[in-house]
Structure 1
Amino acid sequence: MKILSGKRRHPAAYLMLLFTALLVTGGIYATAITINQAQASNVPDGYTADQVEGGQRLYVANCATCHGMNAEGTGAGPSLVGVGAASVDFQVGTGRMPMQMSGPQVRATDPVFNDEQTAQLAAYVASLGAGPAVPEEEWLDTDQGDAARGGELFRINCAMCHNAAGAGGALPEGRFAPSVQNIEARHIYEAMRTGPQQMPVFNEANIPPSDARDIITYLHTLDTQTNPGGFSLGSLGPVPEGLLIWTLGLSLVIGGMVWLTSRAS
């Protein structure tokens, strides 16, 4: 101990102490810089670090119960890593998330979060992994779209579930294809790219952005069309129309037979 006490007073001991302190300080600083750079690199394009941070707070308070603290998923909700900002903007922006009640299919309701909060949540989830982004305004401008071509594309790819008029339709196990009438352009685009619930994913290889814009243009054209006359019957096509014709026709025939037989007697 006396030997160590003596060396502690050696002039070189102060230099060693100073060197050690600088080494530890430099190591801590380098670690902090690395962490900050890693966090900065996770900020997705089009968003800020403040939005990511705000989105994380909203996520922990409102979404982590079902999707996990790190969005890894739980038995009550899937992983959100890699779903992209478009999926969050669609699900939260249409009020489907946070889910109000369980059932065969999540229904659209009034949104819980405003546009700014939705963007923050989208920024945070997008920072967790690459995925479909919120569409650029260029692909939502229906003035540049072709409604006729969009109608053709919609009938080929979408009408078997959503009906040619976009009125929606029934699916097995209590599910349904929702109506796509009077829906915001960006939500239609995001649904195509993310495939919510039982809907298939239409990526850019299947439906390029220009084709997606044409489909949106067609649907918005239907929104502005007036009923040419008669009962629309929900624009659900030949099934309800045929049912009405058979029901009305048979009622008239039966009524006529009853009237004729009563006259004869």
Structure 2
Amino acid sequence: MAPKTKRRANGRRSPWAAAALIGLGLLITGGVYAGASAAVAAGDDSTSTSALTVEDGKKLFQANCATCHGLDLQGSEAGPSLYGAGELSVEFQMATGRMPLQMQGPQAPQKEPQFTQEQIEAVAAWVQSVAPGPTFPSEETLDGQGDIARGAELFRINCAMCHNVAAAGGALTEGKYAPGLSSTSPLHMYAAMVTGPQNMPVFNDMTLSLEDKRDIISGLIFLQENESAGGFSLGGLGPVSEGLFIWIFGIGSLIAITVWITAKSN
């Protein structure tokens, strides 16, 4: 009688095999999808900056700004007309976060912008197309290569009474204030001089020429990039902070020394 051969069990697998195959499939599928998405995103980077059009800017304005400024920029009781404001003013107000207005007050405070730079430029382009006004300057005006000494002198004559001689800002009347300029970009320095936001007067080319503005911007950039030559600046706020420092630390030190000498003598 022929010996019986053992039959191999067919179809028997580890209970973890199916889970392992599913996991491997998910990993492969996820990797392929991630790679494809990255490739598509990289291909779209070159066109992302030009994706928003003037029409997109119009829609953004109507959705976020028209309540106060009107659908046709005519203004309302809640906001001024934008006729003649131009793209430079719109970019300044939106990029510094002053607009949209957070709440009514003596003036609009600077805060984080609510829109991307592309959205801001699209809105500005639409406003410029409907109601032209001041536009962006040349790169040379903002390059910081003007006459720094002359710019500092012009700043002291025309701006320091509000912004402080060290550009640290200062208080005005009725709760208003002139902001510090320690982190203001060259474009926004120029925009403020040309458009006169808040309580700032407009410095047109008859008051300050383009070369004057370039020199002032160069002087302010120099202040931003260089530490106080006189040592600790105390905020650059002038005699008030300096007098307070002397009173607290100078007079306080003299009193402490006097008390110490008296205690020793006793």
| Structure 2 partner of 1:118 | 120
| Structure 1 partner of 2:180 | 179
- Secondary structure of the structure 1 residue equivalent to 2:90: helix
Cα deviation for residue 185 of structure 1 reads: 0.8
| Matched residue count | 216
| Structure 1 partner of 2:61 | 59
1:90 alignment partner, one of 80, 89, 92: 92
| Structure 1 partner of 2:147 | 146
- Secondary structure of the structure 2 residue equivalent to 1:142: coil
Cα deviation for residue 215 of structure 1 reads: 0.6
Cα deviation for residue 93 of structure 1 reads: 1.3
**Does the 8 A contact of 1:194 with 1:201 survive in 2?**
yes
| Structure 1 partner of 2:195 | 194
Deviation per CA, 1:200-239, whole angstroms, max 9, x where unpaired?
A: 1111111111111111110111111124575321122222
**Does the 8 A contact of 1:91 with 1:97 survive in 2?**
yes
Aligned-partner Cα distance in 1 for 2:92–2:244: 36
| Structure 1 partner of 2:75 | 73
Aligned-partner Cα distance in 1 for 2:149–2:228: 19
Change in CA separation of 1:229 and 1:200 when aligned onto 2, cut-off 3 Å: closer
- Secondary structure of the structure 1 residue equivalent to 2:71: coil
Change in CA separation of 1:150 and 1:230 when aligned onto 2, cut-off 3 Å: closer
Cα deviation for residue 100 of structure 1 reads: 2.2
* TM-score normalised according to structure 2 size: 0.74
Cα deviation for residue 115 of structure 1 reads: 2.1
**Does the 8 A contact of 1:67 with 1:78 survive in 2?**
yes
**Does the 8 A contact of 1:89 with 1:134 survive in 2?**
no
1:101 alignment partner, one of 100, 103, 111: 103
* TM-score normalised according to structure 1 size: 0.74
Structure 1 counterpart of 2:176, one-letter code: R
| Structure 2 partner of 1:209 | 210
Aligned-partner Cα distance in 2 for 1:183–1:171: 19
Structure 2 counterpart of 1:212, one-letter code: K
Aligned-partner Cα distance in 1 for 2:74–2:229: 51
Aligned-partner Cα distance in 1 for 2:228–2:167: 15
Identity %: 54
Aligned-partner Cα distance in 2 for 1:230–1:124: 48
Return 86-95 or 241-250, whichever deviates more. Answer: 241-250
Aligned-partner Cα distance in 2 for 1:231–1:137: 34
Aligned-partner Cα distance in 1 for 2:118–2:257: 64
Structure 1 counterpart of 2:118, one-letter code: E
Q: CA RMSD of the aligned region, Å?
A: 2.2
Cα deviation for residue 261 of structure 1 reads: 6.0
Aligned-partner Cα distance in 2 for 1:246–1:60: 55
**Does the 8 A contact of 1:182 with 1:220 survive in 2?**
no
Structure 1: unaligned runs, 5 residues or longer = 1-47
Cα deviation for residue 127 of structure 1 reads: 2.3
| Structure 2 partner of 1:137 | 139
Deviation per CA, 1:17-61, whole angstroms, max 9, x where unpaired?
A: xxxxxxxxxxxxxxxxxxxxxxxxxxxxxxx9x833222111001
Structure 2 counterpart of 1:52, one-letter code: V
Cα deviation for residue 136 of structure 1 reads: 2.0
**Does the 8 A contact of 1:82 with 1:128 survive in 2?**
no
Structure 2: unaligned runs, 5 residues or longer = 1-49
Larger radius of gyration: 2
Cα deviation for residue 257 of structure 1 reads: 5.3
- Secondary structure of the structure 1 residue equivalent to 2:98: coil
| Structure 1 partner of 2:6 | none
Is 1:225 aligned to 2:232, yes or no?
A: no
